[in-house]
């Protein structure tokens, strides 16, 4: 309906279209009001004694409706201009344009963006220190960087399974958990160091990937998604209930900290700072962890990019395209699927053991379904198969909620009880809806052929329907 009014207003003069636009915006506000009445207008609070009292929030309802009215009005006014409309609506010829059609702006970003992104990632601790005036005060930013990079790595790991092999995995967090518990248990029980446990954690997670892979080999699409979802929950429930080994819901604490290849980050004689002859600072460990996860993430990326050029990577892509054709070309689809599962899981395991060494404490709480959903959202939002897109999406999905913390001033609008960081899921929804409208194939949906005789030419995302890098 909105589409037709757009088309008719294109011919009319802007002045003539104004009443229609106002009516349209009012209609939107009315719908918002209808939604707000049952959801927002009253809130139950515990009053004096044990009874609940209803607190009316009509001011908030009015504010929301007004916001929606203004937003719709602005949207329509912007869309009145022909060039703006063209820039903002996806071109209908996307599906039919020539193959070597010019990549659009979002795709061109990926060229410059790659180096910019890497540069920022490499220099973040230095920049943060310089900007905040000290290593300790930069801790917040470096910690945030570590968090984002962990999700970047998880996204890249899941990308192998979902983006390349086209196997929808909703329980990826299970492998993250396997990696984390592998390190936690091996180090607390046998005293193994992080550097021994890291490969072991990846190995265990990869093994679990294959264990999951076997029963689901025959499944695809929705059915596969449900089984993997169940697998994620099973792992979490086992972790909670197998108290003797995993510590149950209480988790495992006092996990040994990471060392600089055997040199601990302590203030003592043989500590990292003393050996280097610099004054001790607890931030050394944090900066080290930052670069550790950066290296791990880059290794994940490097391996994925390399594999894409190898027969196995090509087989993954072909498998996603057409399983029957694959088999008739002599590709062992069983082995191909299992390697995708195992490799994706192994990277999840590496990330998990990093998570454990960084936190020093893990519990099943950290590995719930929401984590899987976030990681999958990062992959989908980034444009399945696109490495840079996943990184950008990780920044948006993990860094975005952090921004919400700084929106305390909104309390003035929505009242004292308003906590912006509770609106994390709203950000999710908003990002997803925005993406579906403007970039249905993900932020960066270019596919550069992995092998080309002449010039490598990127192709428009319109040809990259699901999962392509």
Partner 1 sequence: MSVAGINVLVEETRALQAGEKPPQAGTKAPLLAVRGVSTYYGSVAALKGVDLDVAEGEIVTLIGANGAGKSTLMMTIFGAPQARSGSITYDGADITRRPTHEIARLGLAQSPEGRRVFPRMTVHENLQMGASLHGGRHFAEDLDKVCVLFPRVKERLHQRAGTMSGGEQQMLAIARALMSRPRLLLLDEPSLGLAPLVVKGIFDAIRRLNREDGMTIFLVEQNAYHALKLAHRGYVLVNGRVTMSGSGRQLLDDPAVKAAYLEGGHAAPAGA
Helices (H), 12-138: 14-39, 58-80, 82-88, 105-132
Q: Per rule CB under 8 A, is residue 220 in the interface with partner 1?
A: no
Residue 382 contacts by C-beta under 8 Å, 6 or more apart in sequence?
A: 155, 388, 389, 390, 391, 392, 393, 394, 442, 443, 444
Question: For residues 302 and 449, which CB has a smaller minimum distance to partner 1 in the complex?
Answer: 449
Select 41 or 333, whichever has its Cβ closest to partner 1.
Answer: 333
**Other Cβ atoms within 10 Å of 33 Cβ, number:** 17
Question: Within 10 A of 407 (CB to CB), how many other CB atoms are there?
Answer: 13
Residue from 211, 325, 425, 433 touching partner 1 (CB under 8 A): that is: 325
Nearest C-alpha neighbor of 446 from the set 369, 367, 386, 375: 386
Q: How many residues in the shown chain lie near partner 1 by CB under 8 A?
A: 32
Q: Does 332 bind partner 1 (CB under 8 A)?
A: yes
Which are the contacts of 44, defined by CB distance < 8 A and separation ≥ 6?
A: 52, 53, 54, 55
* Smallest separation (angstroms) from partner 1 to the CB of 384: 12
Q: How far is CA 213 from CA 182, 237, 324, in A?
A: 20, 20, 19
**Whose Cβ is closer to partner 1: residue 104's or residue 371's?**
104
Q: Which stretch binds partner 1 (CB under 8 A): 14-22, 191-199, 310-318, 374-382?
A: 310-318
Of positions 5, 132, 333, 368, contacts partner 1 by CB under 8 A: 333
- Residue 281 in 3-state DSSP? coil
Nearer to partner 1, 86 or 457 (CB): 457
What DSSP state is assigned to residue 48?
S
> What's the CA gap between 423 and 404, in Å, rounded?
8
Quickly list DSSP for 337-376.
HHHHHHHHHHHHHHHHHHHHHHHS-B-GGGGSHHHHHHHH
Comparing CB distances to partner 1, the nearer of 167 and 326 is 326
Q: By CB under 8 A, is residue 162 in contact with partner 1?
A: no
- Closest approach of Cβ 98 to partner 1, in Å? 8
Task: Write the interaction track for partner 1 spanning residues 264-303; mark x where CB under 8 A is met and - where it is not.
Answer: ----------------------------------------
Instruction: Work out the number of other CB atoms within 10 angstroms of the CB of residue 75.
Output: 16
Q: Which of 176, 160, 245 is nearest to 208 (CA)?
A: 176
Min dist CB 339 to partner 1, Å, is 14
Q: Which of residues 430-469 bind partner 1 (CB under 8 A)?
A: 447, 449-454, 457, 459, 463-465, 468
Out of 1, 99, 105, 412, the only residue in the binding site for partner 1 (CB under 8 A) is: 99
Q: By CB under 8 A, tell whether 46 contacts partner 1.
A: no
314 binds partner 1 (CB under 8 A): yes
Whichever of 285 and 468 has its CB closer to partner 1, that residue is 468
321 lies in the site for partner 1, by CB under 8 A:
yes
Instruction: Give burial (CB, 10 Å; 0-12/13-18/19+) of 290.
Output: buried
Whether 134 contacts 283, CB under 8 Å: no
The Cα 241–Cα 407 span in angstroms is 39
What's the min distance (Å) between Cβ of 449 and partner 1?
5
Considering the rule CB under 8 A, would residue 327 count as an interface residue with partner 1? yes
For the record, the structure tokens of 333 come out as 């689809």
Minimal distance, residue 288 CB to partner 1, in Å: 41
Token pair belonging to 310? 């190898």
What's the min distance (Å) between Cβ of 304 and partner 1?
Answer: 17
Residue 326, interface with partner 1 (CB under 8 A)? yes
Output 104 or 317, the one with its CB closest to partner 1.
317
Where in 351-410 is the site for partner 1 (CB under 8 A)?
Answer: none
- DSSP code, position 109: H
Residue 315 found at the interface with partner 1 (CB under 8 A)? yes
Using CB under 8 A as the binding rule, whether residue 92 contacts partner 1 is answered as no
Per-residue binding string, partner 1, 122-161, x by CB under 8 A, is ----------------------------------------
Work out how close the CB of 432 gets to partner 1 at its nearest, in angstroms, rounded to a whole number: 23
Contacts of 385 (CB under 8 A, 6+ apart): 159, 163, 164, 447, 464, 467, 468, 469
- Part of the chain binding partner 1 (CB under 8 A), chosen from 49-57, 146-154, 326-334, 386-394: 326-334
Q: Among 225, 317, 347, 387, which residue sits at the site for partner 1 (rule: CB under 8 A)?
A: 317
**Given the rule CB under 8 A, which residues bind partner 1?**
99-100, 311, 314-315, 317-318, 321-322, 324-333, 447, 449-454, 457, 459, 463-465, 468
């Amino acid at each position: 309906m909105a589409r037709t009014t757009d088309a008719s207003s294109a011919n009319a003069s802007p002045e003539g279209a104004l009443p229609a636009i106002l009516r349209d915006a009012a209609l939107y506000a009315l719908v918002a009001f209808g939604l707000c009445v049952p959801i927002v207008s009253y809130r139950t609070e515990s009053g004096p004694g044990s009874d609940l009292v209803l607190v009316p929030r009509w001011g908030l309802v009015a504010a929301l409706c007004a916001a929606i009215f203004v937003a719709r009005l602005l949207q329509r006014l912007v869309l009145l201009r022909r060039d703006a409309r063209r820039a903002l609506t996806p071109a209908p010829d996307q599906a039919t344009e020539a193959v070597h059609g010019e990549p659009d702006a979002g795709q061109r970003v990926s060229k410059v963006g790659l180096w910019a992104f890497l540069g920022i990632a490499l220099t973040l601790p230095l920049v943060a220190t310089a900007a905040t005036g000290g290593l300790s005060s930069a801790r917040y930013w470096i910690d945030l960087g570590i968090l984002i990079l962990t999700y970047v790595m998880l996204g890249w790991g899941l990308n192998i399974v979902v983006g390349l092999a086209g196997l929808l995995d909703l329980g990826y967090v299970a492998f993250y958990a396997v990696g984390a518990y592998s390190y936690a248990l091996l180090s607390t029980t046998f005293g193994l160091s992080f550097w021994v446990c890291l490969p072991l954690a990846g190995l265990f997670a990869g093994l679990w990937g294959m264990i999951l892979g076997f029963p689901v080999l025959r499944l695809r699409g929705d059915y596969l998604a449900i089984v993997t979802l169940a697998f994620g929950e099973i792992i979490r429930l086992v972790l909670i209930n197998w108290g003797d080994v995993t510590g149950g819901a209480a988790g495992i604490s006092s996990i040994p900290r990471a060392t600089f290849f055997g040199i601990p980050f302590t203030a003592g004689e043989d500590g990292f700072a003393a050996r280097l002859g610099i004054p001790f600072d607890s931030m050394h460990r944090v900066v080290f962890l930052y670069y550790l996860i950066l290296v791990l993430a880059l290794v994940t990326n490097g391996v994925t990019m390399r594999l894409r050029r190898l027969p196995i990577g090509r087989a993954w892509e072909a498998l996603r395209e057409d399983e029957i054709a694959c088999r008739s070309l002599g590709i062992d689809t069983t082995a191909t699927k299992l390697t995708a599962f195992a490799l994706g899981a192994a990277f999840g395991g590496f990330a998990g053991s990093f998570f454990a060494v960084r936190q020093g404490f893990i519990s099943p709480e950290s590995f719930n379904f929401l984590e899987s959903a976030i990681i999958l959202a990062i992959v989908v939002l980034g444009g399945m198969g696109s490495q840079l897109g996943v990184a950008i999406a990780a920044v948006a999905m993990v860094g975005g909620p952090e921004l919400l913390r700084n929106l305390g001033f909104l309390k003035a609008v929505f009242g004292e009880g308003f906590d912006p960081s509770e609106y994390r899921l709203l950000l999710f929804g908003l990002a997803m809806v925005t993406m579906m409208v403007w970039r249905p194939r993900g932020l960066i949906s270019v596919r550069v052929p992995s092998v080309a005789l002449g010039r490598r030419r990127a192709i428009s995302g319109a040809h990259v329907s699901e999962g392509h890098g």
